[in-house]
Structure 1
Amino acid sequence: MSARVHTKDSFAFRYGKVQIRARLPVGDWIVPEIWLQPKDYEYGPDYASGRIRIALARGNRQLKVGDWDIGGDTVESGILVGLGEQVQGRVVEWKIPDGEQRKFHNFTLIWTPDNLSFSVDDLEPLKLLGPDQQKLSQLLSFEEPLADTWKNGTAIAPFDQEFYISLGVSVGGVRDFPDNSTSGSYAKPWENMQFKVSSFFFW
């Protein structure tokens, strides 16, 4: 994390609508951090208590993993949940039209006791839980005993607690850029398990 501002000590909430109007950064291996993070970590440390990602768009203009385009015109929203190395995500995606990446956009989260929905600008919100899906932890296919972490929570546990807003920007990292990514004709210059390299390569 290169820079961050947050409301941890001033404002936290549970359920509601969040809309952030932002222009996401452009530049190789840059990632905006538009999160909701847990206030009290009721379900355990780090991702055991979950994180809600309101918007992510990797800064590379051209970025692919094989034929999968994950460059700056792809916006992802969703969640991260897990313990230790067993961290799983659930995301929804949108494509920003050519030439629109440098403009301001509205990124919206609708958070209810039953579901989390995301949208960009005026697009129809996309829900994480479908009508036949019972619990978020089951959707992510966590097995016992790990699934027991959230068994006493609601259908959307761990996202049934208070969260605060966190805005920032980072470079590199170990989760946001898959290994074997290529930016134009250049390969990603580190591997995600090389923590020191990903932390210091750019400085």
Structure 2
Amino acid sequence: MRYVTILLFLMFALTARCQRKEVTPPTQVAVLDPKTTLPKEFVFTDKPVWQDEFDYSGKPDPAKWGYDLGGSGWGNNEMQNYTDNLANAHVKDGHLVITAIKEPSGGRLYSSARLLTKGKGDFLYGKIEVRAKLPTGVGTWPAIWTLATDSNYGTQYWPDNGEMDIMEHVGFDQNRVHANIHTKAFNHSIGTNKGDEILVPTASTEFHVYSCEWKPDLIVFAVDGKEYFRFQKDGLYGWKEWPFDRKQFLLLNIAVGGNWGGQKGVDNTIFPQSMEVDYVRVYGLTEKK
């Protein structure tokens, strides 16, 4: 009887094992978070979306350029009065010529011009190219730069809404060109400025192309295609660090003296001094197909 019981037990165990199914672990399927935006690739348009080749004579094209006027010091204790006079800004022989002159003007000792595209050329992203030859001499402070079209952030227009300096040059440091960005979090007034510099030995004797490539997460500055400063958007940045998601406009000017340009004084024997601009071209940004 004991042998029969053992035999029945073995038969039951074998049958149960044969009926048991092997369980396969479920396949792990990666599911994209619907809130996640996949990285996009961008390219610049082949042709400019805005440009001035200065193939005319007289005053800068009023459909493309306006003026900042006055001699308030412009927040930097500058010494010039900005005018819309032909002597301070005119187009001739295919070039825009902006000239700083030693003369009484608006209660100041110098006159100059500051041109801007606000309301006539406002851009959100793109590539800006300006081919220019710079003035020379202690006290000159030319610039090619951008400011926000509107006050979108914070309580102060500057620096809350951002500034991009495509080219700055101070005459007391002749062979050096600078690029900078200014924001609420990063600006020279609080010692957190972000920028860099490059040697351009022929900045005042030859034309060079000063450029800025502006994308939703990256700004790159270059001279003649040679990159020398980039500002990358960090994933943690808010508007205080990165206000560069709103339109900006372009400015061209020569300041005289000021907090930076006048650090070594002003040499009155050098004037008049001019910045010549061969062309201004802005290329649009499109998503790569």
Which interval holds the TM-score relative to the shorter structure? Answer: 0.5 to 0.7
**CA shift for structure 1 position 78:** 1.8
Residue of structure 1 equivalent to 2:180 = 78
Which ranges of structure 2 fall in alignment gaps of 5 or more residues?
Answer: 1-79, 81-111, 267-289
Residue of structure 2 equivalent to 1:173 = 258
Instruction: Determine if the alignment matches structure 1 residue 49 to structure 2 residue 152.
Output: no
Alignment of 1:1-203 (within 5 A): 2-43=112-153, 44-60=156-172, 71-82=173-184, 85-86=189-190, 88-97=192-201, 99=202, 101-124=204-227, 126-129=229-232, 133-135=234-236, 150=239, 157-174=242-259, 176-177=260-261, 188-189=264-265
Q: Determine the C-alpha separation between the residues in 1 that align with 2:150 and 2:168.
A: 24
Decide whether aligned partners of structure 1 residues 166 and 108 sit closer, same or farther in structure 2, where only a CA change above 3 A counts.
Answer: same
Identity in percent: 30
- Per-residue CA deviation, residues 69-95 of structure 1 (Å, 9 max, x unaligned), is xx1211111212238953742112111
Higher-strand-fraction structure: 2
Q: Determine the C-alpha separation between the residues in 1 that align with 2:237 and 2:231.
A: 8
Q: Determine the C-alpha separation between the residues in 2 that align with 1:54 and 1:159.
A: 14
Secondary structure of 1:157's match? coil
Q: Determine the C-alpha separation between the residues in 2 that align with 1:86 and 1:124.
A: 26
RMSD between aligned alpha carbons? 2.8
Which ranges of structure 1 fall in alignment gaps of 5 or more residues?
Answer: 61-70, 138-149, 182-187, 191-203
**CA shift for structure 1 position 33:** 1.9
CA contact (8 A) 1:81 1:87 kept: no
- Per-residue CA deviation, residues 117-170 of structure 1 (Å, 9 max, x unaligned), is 01001314632228xx44567xxxxxxxxxxxx26xxxx621111000111110
TM-score with structure 1 setting the length: 0.66
CA contact (8 A) 1:82 1:88 kept: no
Decide whether aligned partners of structure 1 residues 89 and 59 sit closer, same or farther in structure 2, where only a CA change above 3 A counts.
Answer: same
Q: Determine the C-alpha separation between the residues in 1 that align with 2:166 and 2:122.
A: 15
TM-score with structure 2 setting the length: 0.47
Q: Determine the C-alpha separation between the residues in 2 that align with 1:100 and 1:158.
A: 31
CA contact (8 A) 1:78 1:128 kept: no
* Stretch deviating more after TM superposition (6-15 or 85-94): 85-94
**CA shift for structure 1 position 54:** 0.4
